[in-house]
Amino acid sequence: MERKFSFSVDEFYHIYNRGVDKRLIFLDSFDHDRFLKLLYLCNGTKSVIMKSVQDLSLSDLYKIDVGDRLVSIGAYCLMPNHFHLLLKEIRPGGVSAFVMKICTAYSMYFNKKYERSGSLFQGPFGAKHLDDDVYLKYIYAYVHLNPLKILDKNWIDKMSTDRQDYRDFLYGYKYSSYFDYVNKLIRPESAILDRGAFPEYFSGRETDFSDFINDWLGCRDLVD
């Protein structure tokens, strides 16, 4: 489907894509780690040859100079058959170039590893222009709450701020930026994010599970 807007510098976007026929695109921890590495390595003006860095740990990987960033990443979440990214374009054409690099590099890795051919993703990536702060705050919360679908497919109907089981699950889910917002500890994956390019609620302050719930509940009716 043709996109009804053009990407613009200093604007915010929700980017997403899923596996063709809703197939799984992350089958083990190595797949998740490869995509996390690509979130950093593909976000730059310099080309990086994956063969030269594929054996590096996440801690060492983020020391590599990838050049000037194409986008600022405010949040991300990897789900079994799709992914979500919250981006700000900081260079003309940055969003399109960044997402194309990631999808191409990950598809090549996945097809080679699992001895398959053809498209891995269902088509061109989806994108929503987050053109007001309510929408931006809603997506910021939604991206971080998305893994709850794995724990409970009906999580939306049961949502409340006192769900300790939901809180614990999100805290232990390694493949989103949730941990980087609710914990003062700095992990290697923190290098993926550029929180300073986003509003105050993306800042370095320690967030709580209830903040995401309240933001999501507070904005849901205004957005849906």
Q: Can you give the pTM of this predicted structure?
A: 0.92
Examine the pLDDT at 65 and tell me if it is beyond 80: yes
Cβ contact 180:77 at 8 Å: no
Q: Indicate the residue type of 5.
A: F
Report percent pLDDT > 70 for the chain: 96
Per-residue pLDDT tens over the stretch 69-93: 999 999 999 999 999 999 999 999 9
Count of Cβ atoms closer than 10 Å to residue 190 Cβ:
14
Lowest mean pLDDT of 19-23, 105-109, 145-149, 154-158, name the range.
154-158
Domain ranges within the chain, ordered by starting residue: 12-129, 133-223
Tracing tokens 């609620």 back to the chain, one arrives at: 201
Contact, 70 vs 90, CB < 8 A? yes
CATH number of 12-129: 3.30.70.1290
Residue recorded with tokens 């990536």: 125
Q: What are the tens digits of pLDDT across the range 94-130? A: 999 999 999 999 999 999 999 999 999 998 899 999 9
